[in-house]
Structure 1
Amino acid sequence: MTATATATARPDAGAATAAAVRPVSVLRGYRFEVVKLVSQWRVRLLVLACWLAPGLFVAAVGQQSTLPTDTLFGRWMHATGWAGPLVVLGFSGTWALPLLTSVVAGDVFAAEDRLGTWRHLLVAVRSPRRIFAAKALASLTVIVLMLAGLALSGVAGGLLAEGNHALVGLDGRLLPPSHAAGAVFLAWACVIAPTLALAAIGLLGSVALGRSPMGLLLPALVALAMQLAQMLPLPVAVRVSLPGYAFIAWNGLFTGPRQTTPLLIGIVVALVWAVVATTLAYLLFLRRDFTNTAHDASGRRAIGAGLVPLAALLGVTVAVVGVSTSSSGTGITQAKVQRSVSVAFAHLYRMQTRELHRPAVTEAQLRTSAACSKGDVRDDAHGAGNDWRCVVSWHVPGVSITGTAIYQLDVTADGRYVADGDGPKEVNGYFLLHTDQGDAPNPLWQFDGNVDLLSTTPKG
């Protein structure tokens, strides 16, 4: 009787034991990790700064007489509220987002090593896989929250300071407010992919390097290395294959036609890096010894499990991009520069004509062309440099004399350039024009442009 009762009770006891040791769900672990992250004073401070600082900065610039003209779209911050968030975007892709991913994703696993809390966490959750998923999702949530704050704060500050006006694109075309708004939000959406790539690299560094401070700095160091690489005259295939290329490729959304091919390649490459780096971090995390309280990842394992696979991934992406695209060299050629300058000049000339209350003209009537040279090279000039010189010619209806204007160009390795007017003064010199938003510099004096590195022939 007792034996039978005992045998009968064993299944119930086993079921109770199984229920007692059932792993915590990913959702509960995720909520726990989010609370842990946002309870840290530095994370709270960063979230608050992301939601307030961009708007305050854009509004403050609107009250200044000088503008950050060395920054893309900085010269238009007094003309429209849509220029401010693009200035913030340029700064965020260069500095803010790499640092944010370092602080959040680069420390999410290493913090447990410093505090020695892995055993307690494993006892509570009972599943290393779910611990990894909860921490990765929690860090991603906080990073996306910060990125959204940067974007929305910059937009709010710009619109409140300058209003909802048209934006001048990188081809000189005037974008209506609705089109400008769509392009601005799309540009911010495009940098999610490279941000995920840096976050995944941060997760990998946090797992592979343990309590070492190098894990915390890894995303920022990788971003700095990519920025330095973008300054070098690298082949187009190498440049586009870097996981951070989408941080600058959004420029192509503000040209006509849109330069979407480099941007799409940059997004795909960044997403591939995000998946690969996260997978490497996951596999490395599952292999670690949680019973050793003095565990600290070895440099050899970090190199073998992280650096080598990512270097191989870079080689594969360079090969794939090189085969799938027909561009070679730096991608900056004489024909591309001439076409870009002539198109931008024609659009800005029409803008100047309208602001001077002169008879309207069309691009077809102007028949604008540009002849550019680089230093002493007049035929087949190519490559970046500040020694580009362009002579722009155009025709005004009813005037027999062909107009000419000279520009000095500083073309960077990523295809962006600044054209500085060098005469005649009445055409592209510095003088103020009265606009609906107040006095503004002559639009033909200085303007920004962007060369499509992947196009092989000028587009009609």
Structure 2
Amino acid sequence: MVGLDGQTIGAGHAAALVGIAWAYAAVAALGFAGVGLFGSIAMGRNPMGLLLPALLAFLLDLCQMLPLPVPVRMALPSQPFVAWRGLFSATPQIGPLLTGLVVSLTWAVLATAMAWLLFRRRDFTDLVYDGSIRRCLLAGVLPLALLVGLTAGVLAGTGQTGSGITRPKVETAVSTTFGHLYRLQTAQLNRPDVTEAQMAPSAACDKGGSLVTDEGPGTDWRCVVSWHLPGAKAVGRAIYQVDVMADGRIVADGDGPTDVNGYFVVKAPYGTAPNPLWQVDSLIDLTSHK
């Protein structure tokens, strides 16, 4: 299995990571389960109570697409559902994983506590009353919104600001992934193996030209990757058009040269094979200060 940074993951290790990811997602779902419990008690027979988790998930999914500041993004209970991807990086991204775990458990505890308090005060003898929207907003939405604000404030105090996407992070992600995938392409072409240390790949990236600050998500990133093979005098170069998404995911499309990353297949000794360098995927740790 090929990881998010192009590294090769063994079958046993991959199976363990998948199991951990599923367990992590199950814990992340507890926050939404608490919201569902609160909604069912607050709104009684009204089906909207059970639809609250789905509505919340839809709204948060829209928020995930926006270039939110890192503290706000990490404070949302939907972030853990994408944070598990950090397990499949060459260096596991522990920061978002731990933050998401704490946020999910806090949401679960707070929503369940509010549901319990509301349950104790609810009059179940009234067959007509299905709950108050005002009470639902005051007892549910307001405390959870305050929790998001408090969590974002705490995270901001640790120095996490902006979108978390900077030029050094993009360059490191692209060059690291390129180095791993270059070795994979070398094996496909039956060439002598070369290590990442021998290649010393580096990337020079730019966003939108000299008039635009090199930070933040966008489809206007462009990177030139350079590397050097042992015994060769020339320095190899490959160009990528890079799409950096707000959640830190990177998709880089090869733009040449053709025999390196400019075409989707390569001519291997056994025939044509998919070119691993044609499209490069990676993931930025938004919480990293590097």
How high is the TM-score relative to the length of structure 2? Answer: 0.96
| 2:265 matches 1:422 | no
In the TM superposition, what is the alpha-carbon distance from 1:258 to its structure 2 partner? 0.8
Partner residue in 2 for 1:308: 142
CA distance in 2, matches of 1:425, 1:202: 53
Q: In the alignment, what sits opposite 1:328?
A: 161
Q: Residue 229 of structure 2 corresponds to which residue in structure 1?
A: 396
Name which of 13, 33, 44 aligns with 1:199.
33
1:373 to 206, 223, 226: 206
Query: Take 2:73 and 2:124, find their aligned partners in 1: how far apart are those partners?
Result: 40
Give 1:303 deviation, angstroms.
1.1
Which AA in structure 1 matches 2:167?
Q
Distance in 2 between residues matched to 1:402 and 1:302, nearest whole Å: 64
Please state how far the C-alpha of 1:194 moved relative to its aligned partner. Answer: 1.9
Q: Is the 8 A contact 2:264 2:275 kept in 1?
A: yes
Q: Using the alignment, how far apart are the partners of 1:439 and 1:204 within structure 2?
A: 57
Which shifted more, 179-188 or 381-390? 179-188
Query: What stretches of structure 2 of length at least 5 have no aligned partner?
Result: none
2:12 paired residue number: 178
Task: Spell out, residue by residue over 1:371-391, the C-alpha distance to the aligned partner (whole angstroms, 9 max, x if none).
Answer: 000111388500000111000
CA-based RMSD of the aligned residues comes to: 1.7
Query: Would you tell me which structure has more strand in proportion to its own residues?
Result: 2
The offset of 1:192, in angstroms, is: 1.4
Pairs within 5 Å for 1:206-221: 206-221=40-55
Query: Offset of 1:393 from its aligned partner?
Result: 0.3
Query: Which aligned segments of 4 or more residues in structure 1 are displaced greater than 6 angstroms?
Result: none
Residues 1:224 and 2:58 are matched in the alignment: yes
1:139-154 → structure 2 map (5 Å cutoff)? none
* Separation of aligned partners in 2, 1:276 and 1:255: 32
What residue number does 2:179 align with? 346
Match of 1:238 among 50, 69, 72: 72
Post-superposition CA distance 1:106-155 (Å, at most 9, x none)? xxxxxxxxxxxxxxxxxxxxxxxxxxxxxxxxxxxxxxxxxxxxxxxxxx
Q: Which has the higher helix share?
A: 1
Q: Which amino acid aligns with 1:170?
A: L
Shift of 1:213: 2.7
CA 1:176–1:351 in 2, change beyond 3 Å: closer, same or farther? Answer: same
Q: Is the 8 A contact 2:39 2:49 kept in 1?
A: yes
Which segment drifts farther, 236-245 or 287-296? 287-296
Aligned 8 A contact 1:374 1:382 in 2: yes
2:198/2:228 contact within 8 Å kept: yes
Using the TM superposition, give the Cα deviation of residue 290 of structure 1 relative to its aligned residue in structure 2, in angstroms: 2.0
Q: 1:190, 1:377 → 2: CA distance?
A: 42
SS of the residue corresponding to residue 243 of structure 2 reads strand
1:411–1:417 CA contact under 8 A, matched in 2: yes
The one-letter amino acid of 1:341's match is V
Q: Which amino acid aligns with 2:238?
A: A
Q: 1:253 to 1:378 in 2, by over 3 A?
A: farther
Q: Is the 8 A contact 1:371 1:390 kept in 2?
A: yes
CA contact (8 A) 1:193 1:271 kept: yes
Give the secondary structure class of the aligned counterpart of 1:340. Answer: helix
Render the CA deviation track for 1:167-221: whole Å, top value 9, x for unaligned.
1111111011111111111111111122111111111111111222321221111
How far apart are the structure 2 equivalents of 1:413 and 1:435? Answer: 40
| Equivalent pair of 2:165/2:286 in contact (CA under 8 Å) | yes
- 8 Å CA contact retained: 2:190, 2:269: no
Partner SS, residue 226 of structure 2: strand
CA contact (8 A) 1:334 1:380 kept: no
State the AA in 1 paired with 2:118: L
Give the direction of change, closer, same or farther, for the CA distance of 1:435–1:321 in structure 2 (3 Å limit): farther
Cross-structure match for 1:5: none
- Aligned equivalents of 1:433, 1:313: Cα separation in 2: 55
Q: Does 1:265 align with 2:99?
A: yes
Corresponding residue SS for 2:22? helix
Amino acid at match of 1:338: E
Number of residue pairs matched? Answer: 289
**In 2, Cα distance between the equivalents of 1:196 and 1:383?**
31
Percent identity of equivalent pairs:
55
The Cα of 1:432 is off from its aligned counterpart by 4.5
Q: Structure 2 CA distance, aligned partners of 1:434 and 1:266?
A: 43
Give the whole-Å Cα distance in 2 for the aligned partners of 1:434 and 1:403: 20
